[in-house]
C-alpha cells in the first residue's frame, strides 16, 4: 500500500510540476494581455479580470498543495512503524493528493484545450 501511494504521489508531483503548472502560465499571460488591450479599447473588463483572478488563485493553490504534498511525503517516510507510516500515507499523503487533484481538475475545465498537456476527461470519455 505504502509503495503504491508513494509512486502515485511522486507521479502526481512530477505531472503537476512539469505539465500542468507550465501549461497554465501561458493562459494567464494571454488573459493579462487581453485585459490590457481590451481596457484601452472598451474600458473595464469585469469577466476577463474575474477569470484571471480565478485561474491565478487556482494555480497558486495547486502550487501550495504541491509543496504540502512534498512535505507530507517526507514526514511519512520518516515514520519507522509500518502501520503508522501506512496511516500517514492514507490520512496525509493521499488526502493532500486529492486536494491537489481538485485544483488541477478545475484548471482543466477552464484552460484552453490547446494548452492542456494531456487528454482531458471529455477527450477520454467521448473521443476514443
> Tell me, what's the pLDDT at 120?
85
**pTM greater than 0.85:** yes
Question: What average pLDDT score do residues 6-12 get?
Answer: 98
Please give, one letter per residue, the 3-state secondary structure of the chain. CHHHHHHHHHHHHHHHHHHHHHHHHHHHHHHHHHHHHHHHHHCCCHHHHHHHHHHHHHHHHHHHHHHHHHHHHHHHHCCCCHHHHHHHHHHHHHHHHHHHHHHHHHHHHHCCHHHCCCCCHHHHHHCC
Q: Are 50 and 35 in contact (CB under 8 A)?
A: no
Using only C-alpha atoms, the chain has a radius of gyration, in whole angstroms, of 18
What is the per-residue pLDDT across 72-109, written as a single tens digit (0 to 9) for each?
999 999 999 999 999 999 999 999 999 999 999 999 99
Question: What average pLDDT score do residues 21-32 get?
Answer: 97
> Tell me, what's the pLDDT at 14?
98
> Tell me, what's the pLDDT at 58?
98
- pLDDT bin (cut points 50, 70, 90) of residue 44 is confident
Average pLDDT value over all residues in the chain: 95
pLDDT at 43 over 90: no
CATH 1.20.120.1560 assigned to 2-126: yes
Q: Are 69 and 13 in contact (CB under 8 A)?
A: yes
Rounded distance between C-alpha atoms, residue 52 and residue 41, angstroms:
19
Question: What average pLDDT score do residues 20-40 get?
Answer: 95
Amino acid at each position: 500500500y505504502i509503495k503504491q501511494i508513494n509512486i502515485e504521489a511522486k507521479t502526481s508531483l512530477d505531472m503537476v510540476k512539469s505539465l500542468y503548472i507550465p501549461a497554465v502560465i501561458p493562459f494567464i499571460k494571454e488573459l493579462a494581455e487581453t485585459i490590457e488591450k481590451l481596457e484601452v479599447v472598451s474600458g473595464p473588463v469585469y469577466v476577463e479580470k474575474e477569470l484571471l483572478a480565478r485561474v491565478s488563485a487556482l494555480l497558486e493553490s495547486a502550487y501550495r498543495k504541491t509543496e504540502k504534498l512534498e512535505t507530507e511525503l517526507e514526514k511519512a517516510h520518516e515514520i519507522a512503524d509500518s502501520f503508522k507510516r501506512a496511516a500517514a500515507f492514507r490520512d496525509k499523503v493521499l488526502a493532500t493528493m486529492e486536494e491537489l487533484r481538485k485544483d488541477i481538475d478545475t484548471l482543466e475545465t477552464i484552460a484552453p484545450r490547446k494548452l492542456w498537456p494531456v487528454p482531458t476527461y471529455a477527450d477520454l470519455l467521448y473521443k476514443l
